[in-house]
Amino acid sequence: MRVVPAYVIVVTLLVLIGSPIALADHSPTHSRWSIEAGDAEGETEVLAVDNNGRLNIPLFIVNENLISITIEFEFTAPFDATVSGPQSATIQGSSSQEIIVMLSNVNPFEHTAGSTGEFEAVGTVTSRQGLPVSVPGDSDSTTIDIEIPLIHNPIVDLKGPENTIQAGQSSTLEVSVSNYGNVNEQASRVTISSNCPLLTFTEKSPKIADQIMAIGVTLVSEISVEVTEGQTTSACNVVVEVLFTWPDDSQSYSDSVKVNVAEMEIEVEEEGLAVNKNLPAPGALSGIIVTLIAAILRRSE
């Protein structure tokens, strides 16, 4: 009968005893855990910052090990964003945990609408069951696209004449539309109205409607305003309204200005004497009568 050497038996026992350890969840490179951008409902591929340049990014960590692990995080964000999130987290064995990373200080007006940049989160196991790992490198990572939202921000400005417009005369208004958003704009309609019905408006040049406004561009147009002779003295409120129509919405933007209008002056001639008269103005008419009487008295002297 063949005798097996004692050292062979010892080695075999050590292999059998050590096998569960080698196959357990303590491998420094494959410790059965993962990190994903998203929550318990699933992975997220794209998130957009809000109009104020802020965003909360959920990260979901799953630990399939039977023991707890401590993970340290590193974050890389696009658009020069400020990142605020936990530096580390301890995940209990056979459990999961969600953490939130906050991005801020992104200026969406400095970037074209729809542009994206990659956010990356890297996690590295630094301890297991409270004991520091001897071999670093047990890491996992996840990425997600951060998107700049589409922001419409046209500004309408209307400037009126500084001087009073006499009835029967005309003047000029100036309307400007500036694109302070992050997408090209195109006005679909421009309307001008007033609470004084005897004012008429004519757009001179160039037209604002149907012209493409690139980001940061301002379009200026002159509006001719004519005052009918019958318009009495009044402070007229003039409103310009610019309508923008988009595939999913439409919105109008407006501005207003007060225009002072004076009734028409009429020149009256009486025996070589020229007098300007505002109609109908009783005070002015009395002055004319007094002037005429004085002239008659001087002639009779």
Beta-carbon count within 10 A of 62 CB: 16
The string of pLDDT tens digits covering residues 212-258 is: 999 999 999 999 999 888 777 788 899 999 999 999 899 999 999 99
The string of pLDDT tens digits covering residues 128-170 is: 999 998 776 689 999 999 999 999 999 999 999 988 988 888 8
Please state, in angstroms and rounded to a whole number, the distance separating the CA atoms of residues 88 and 131.
15
The string of pLDDT tens digits covering residues 43-62 is: 789 999 999 999 999 999 99
Contact 204, 224 (CB under 8 A): yes
The string of pLDDT tens digits covering residues 194-218 is: 998 888 888 766 678 889 999 999 9
Question: Could you give the residue range(s) of every CATH 2.60.40.10 domain in the chain?
Answer: 6-147, 154-262
What is 6-147's CATH superfamily? Immunoglobulins (2.60.40.10)
Cα four-point dihedral sign 207, 208, 209, 211: positive
Q: Domain 154-262, CATH 2.60.40.10 — does that match?
A: yes
